[in-house]
């Protein structure tokens, strides 16, 4: 019985030993697989050489496209034209879509009428002051200058577009080019719908007074006006052609066509001016400096209010932005009045200064309304804010946008595929080593054997918990590349936190840590035996350490099985910090 128990006990011992050996073997394999160090054997000899040392912090993440634009119209209405399709590549400043702008054109014409009314009021006032010479046949003594005024705006907008284009500001150039298109469109509308002024004045074509109404001037025939309108419509098409060239980046064509457009604008202005009937009298322009100064002073007061508001502890960014906008608007109007706007008067009407001041105020109010109406018509157009690819077109021609839905409806989605970023996470242990501006290499899982470069643009000041580890978001701007990347692709970034060229390197496997510091076993050329030598080390990664002193290029170093107890020459110092890094 005792013998049987002894046999069973021996079998159990053998099984336990077998299990223990297998377990130790598995642990060795697992630990060996988890280690990045190369297996070393005592007695191996290495040569101290020079090379490049790079220490990186690794981050996993995805590619993103930060310049993504959800473009919508600025007002309600019916879609008149969509100029792009999905997949089209467009340049900034390109006209992408338009709404029917009938109501906006009418608003501009109404604003022009108000300007003209303000100007006509001074003529009527002079008539009440017994200075009515030449005022017996209104509205002939004060002509309707709405058409020349509109084309004066068109000329200025086109000049701005040309100037911005020459400066490479294609976005604003495209905006002002389309503004010119609308200016010409409104001007052509005014000419085409112009009523017969004689009939409005109550004249009869068979009246004995009718010939007198046009004495000293020339009456425009309907067919003359029609030919002007035809020319203006052709000119509008030329402006659209320029916009289409901008859309595809044909800037050489755009440059030459803009020169021709400026020449054509002179013709358009002269033709538009020829449709205005002026009976006798002379006109002169008076710059309204006083009104401009009022607006500029208002801007100064607005900026002072903004400064006082920002000094408050409870200042809100939205309220500050509103105050800044008001100050900017006053400054813009004041400058526009000073540089561009003038008041037109009729000579010899006996105008007093009180009448003049009231006239200025009325006229400037009307001109501000005209300015706002011109800005309003741009809400019917979508201009590309950046180069990019059209990824979706969510509206069709003749689609109707209501007042409730136009602002929330994305008409066109545009993505700038040339601007790519990497967004990833870095462990809290390494985040303090990462600095803005550090270079990085990025590999994309879907594009093997290709390394992209970039630099750190943003490091989040707040960490987020991932499992039991705190990690920090990092953004890297990828340098321009000819490879077509896509948002959302998985990628890995190696951020270079230290880089040294042509430094003395020694394998970390030969470094022995002692109380006095790191030492290395150096082969004595005379005896062939290892001698421990103290070394000063700099930065290191998992494979190599930078040697600052204690070794020279060409020294032979080896791995010993036992640490030194005596016979260490020199002093030991470690200046660099260790860490788990990757080497490039």
Q: What is the pLDDT of residue 452?
A: 94
Q: What is the pLDDT of residue 361?
A: 72
Q: Find the DSSP H helices in 35-139.
A: 102-128
Quick one: residue 186, left, alpha or beta (phi over 0 = left, psi -120 to 50 = alpha)? alpha
Q: What is the pLDDT of residue 393?
A: 92
Mean pLDDT taken over the chain: 76
Ordered by start, the domain boundaries in the chain are 1-35, 45-54+500-574, 58-66+416-497, 88-284+346-388, 289-340
Sole residue written with tokens 């004249």:
203
- Among 138-142, 255-259, 415-419, 499-503, the range with the most confident prediction by mean pLDDT is 255-259
Q: How far is it, in rounded angstroms, from Cα 531 to Cα 581?
A: 30
Q: What is the pLDDT of residue 224?
A: 76
Min mean pLDDT across 42-46, 413-417, 426-430 is at 42-46
Calculate the CA 163 to chain-centre distance: 20
What is the number of other CB atoms lying within 10 angstroms of the CB of residue 86?
A: 11
Min mean pLDDT across 329-338, 340-349, 528-537 is at 340-349
Q: What tens digit of pLDDT does each residue of 532-580 get?
A: 899 999 888 888 999 999 899 988 998 876 666 655 665 555 554 443 3
The half-sphere exposure of 295 on its side-chain side, counting CA atoms within 13 A, is 21
Instruction: Flag whether pLDDT at 73 surpasses 90.
Output: yes
Q: What is the pLDDT of residue 62?
A: 94
Instruction: Flag whether pLDDT at 36 surpasses 80.
Output: no
58-66+416-497 is classed in which CATH architecture? Beta Barrel (2.40)
45-54+500-574 is classed in which CATH architecture? Beta Barrel (2.40)
pLDDT band at 134 (very low <50, low <70, confident <90, very high): very low
**Bridge partners for 342 per DSSP:** 287
Instruction: Flag whether pLDDT at 353 surpasses 70.
Output: no
CA distances in angstroms from 11 to 2, 15, 18, 160, listed in the order given: 14, 6, 11, 98
Q: Which of 343, 365, 292, 415 is nearest to 122 (CA)?
A: 343
CA distances in angstroms from 208 to 201, 203, 279, 310, 380, listed in the order given: 14, 9, 18, 71, 49
Q: What tens digit of pLDDT does each residue of 152-202 get?
A: 889 999 999 999 999 999 989 999 999 999 999 988 888 887 655 444 444
Bond from prior residue into 139 cis (ω within 30 degrees of 0): yes
More confident residue, 375 or 206: 375
Q: Which helix (H) or strand (E) holds 9?
A: helix 2-34
> Structure tokens of 290?
């006083």
């Amino acid at each position: 019985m005792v013998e049987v128990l002894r046999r069973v006990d021996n079998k159990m011992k053998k099984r336990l030993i077998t299990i223990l050996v297998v377990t130790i073997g598995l642990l060795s394999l697992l630990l060996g697989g988890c280690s990045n160090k190369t297996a070393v054997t005592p007695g191996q000899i290495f040569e101290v050489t020079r090379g490049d040392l790079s220490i990186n912090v690794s981050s996993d993440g995805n590619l993103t496209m930060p310049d993504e634009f959800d473009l919508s119209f600025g007002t309600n209405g019916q879609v008149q034209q969509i100029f792009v399709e999905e997949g089209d590549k467009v340049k900034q400043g390109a006209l992408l879509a338009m709404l029917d702008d009938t109501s906006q054109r009418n608003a501009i014409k109404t604003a022009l009428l108000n300007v003209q009314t303000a100007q006509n009021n001074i003529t009527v006032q002079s008539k009440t002051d017994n200075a009515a010479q030449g005022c017996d046949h209104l509205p002939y003594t004060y002509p309707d200058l709405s058409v020349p005024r509109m084309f004066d705006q068109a000329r200025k907008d086109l000049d701005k577009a040309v100037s911005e284009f020459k400066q490479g500001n294609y976005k604003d150039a495209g905006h002002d080019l389309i503004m010119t298109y609308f200016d010409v469109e409104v001007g052509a509308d005014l000419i085409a719908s112009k009523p017969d002024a004689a009939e409005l004045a109550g004249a009869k074509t068979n009246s004995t007074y009718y010939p007198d109404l046009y004495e000293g001037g020339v009456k425009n025939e309907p067919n003359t006006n029609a030919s002007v309108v035809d020319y203006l419509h052709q000119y509008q098409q030329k402006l659209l052609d320029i916009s289409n060239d901008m859309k595809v980046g044909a800037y050489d064509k755009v440059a030459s066509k803009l020169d021709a457009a400026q020449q054509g604008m002179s013709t358009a202005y002269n033709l538009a001016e020829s449709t205005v009937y002026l009976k006798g009298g002379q006109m002169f322009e008076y710059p309204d400096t006083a009104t401009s100064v009022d607006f500029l002073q208002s801007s100064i007061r607005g900026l002072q209010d903004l400064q006082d508001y920002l000094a408050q502890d409870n200042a809100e960014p939205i309220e500050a932005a509103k105050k800044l906008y008001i100050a900017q608007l006053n400054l813009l109007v004041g400058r526009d009045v000073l540089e561009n706007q003038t008041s037109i008067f009729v000579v010899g009407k006996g105008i007093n200064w009180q009448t003049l001041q009231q006239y200025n105020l009325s006229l400037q109010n009307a001109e501000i309304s005209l300015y706002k109406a011109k800005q309003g018509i741009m809400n019917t157009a979508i201009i590309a804010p950046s180069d990019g690819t059209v990824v979706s077109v969510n509206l069709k021609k003749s689609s109707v946008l209501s007042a409730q839905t136009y602002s929330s409806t994305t008409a066109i989605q545009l993505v700038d595929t040339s601007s790519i970023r990497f967004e990833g996470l870095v462990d809290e242990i390494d985040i303090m080593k990462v600095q803005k501006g550090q270079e990085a290499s990025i590999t994309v899982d879907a594009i093997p054997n290709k390394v992209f470069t970039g630099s750190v643009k943003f490091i989040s000041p707040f960490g987020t918990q991932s499992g039991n580890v705190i990690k920090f978001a990092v953004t890297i701007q990828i340098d321009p590349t000819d490879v077509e990347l896509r948002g959302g692709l998985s990628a890995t970034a190696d951020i270079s936190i230290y880089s040294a060229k042509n430094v003395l390197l020694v394998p970390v496997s030969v470094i022995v840590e002692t109380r006095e510091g790191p030492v290395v076993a150096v082969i004595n050329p005379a005896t062939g035996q290892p001698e421990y030598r103290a070394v000063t080390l700099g930065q290191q990664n998992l494979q190599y350490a930078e040697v600052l002193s204690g070794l020279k290029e060409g020294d032979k170093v080896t791995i010993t099985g036992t640490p030194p107890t005596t016979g260490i020459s020199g002093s030991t110092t470690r200046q660099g910090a260790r860490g788990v890094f990757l080497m490039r």
